[in-house]
Amino acid sequence: MKLDVQTLDGKKGGSVDLDETIFGIKEVRKDILHRMVKYQLAKRRAGTHKTQSRGEVSVTHSKVYKQKGTGQARHGAKNAPIFRGGGHAHNRLPRDYSHDLTKKFRALALRHALSARANAGDIIVIDALTVKDGKTAALQKSLTNMKLEKVLFIAGEKVDVGVARAARNLPHVDILPNAGLNVYDVLRAGKVVLTQDAVNAIHERFKGTAAPKAKKTKEGAAA
């Protein structure tokens, strides 16, 4: 797959060949993307929620009033869940929401995410990502020239300090290094902009690994 390379001024700066096994998958598996997004969102959950049980609330555990003769329902301790200030019957406890996905599956999901964006024409390749004097106005001008609003930049091995400073006041503009490339951010961005260094890093990352084929069920549908 051949794609034109642009400059931040919106001009043509050559062309680049994208690996078909990474950017050219035609039958994108939505179930794979769904599982990967759930994996990422579950992993970022803090899981620090906590409510108090009957034994943890700070109230008296003595009997509220005598058993008979009051004309009211029979009650024991004040920490019962039906009382205001009582403990929770099934209190929430801290937990870890993360779950495992194999390394091969995560790599496959990234292939499908990049292919989905490439098939939709939402991947742009630029020669380099630099901003003069680290000014927000300069970066905003470049985004206007390229007609970009909600965008994810994959900047290369490291994000330039001036570029990061220029982008931090712009809404819906995310800039990540090569190591930060992930399925969730790729899918949620309006456009994905890769530098040539980022493209080379992606090709190197998947070098020598063939894209696994989807298994077929007895009915002939993809499993």
Domain presence at residue 58: no
**Is residue 76 assigned to a domain?**
no
CB distance 134 to 165 below 8 Å: yes
Query: 108 lies in which domain range?
Result: 2-44+98-205
In a domain, 87, yes or no: no
Q: What's the domain count of the chain? A: 1
Q: Which residues of the chain have pLDDT under 50?
A: 217, 219, 223
Reading across the β-sheet that carries 191-195, which strands appear in turn? 12-17, 2-6, 123-126, 191-195, 151-154, 173-176
CATH code: domain of residue 194: 3.40.1370.10
**What pTM, to 2 d.p., does this model score?**
0.81
Residue 223 confidence (pLDDT): 46
User: Cα-Cα-Cα-Cα dihedral of 141, 145, 151, 157, to 10°?
Assistant: -80
- Which pLDDT belongs to residue 218? 54
Assess if residue 103 is contained within a domain.
Answer: yes
> Alpha carbon of 121 to those of 4, 6, 23, 193: distances in Å?
12, 14, 11, 11
Q: Please give the angle made by the CA atoms of 50, 51 and 54, to the nearest 5 degrees.
A: 140
Which tens digit of pLDDT belongs to each residue from 120-145? 999 999 988 888 888 999 999 989 98
* Residues 6 or more apart whose Cβ sits within 8 Å of residue 221: none
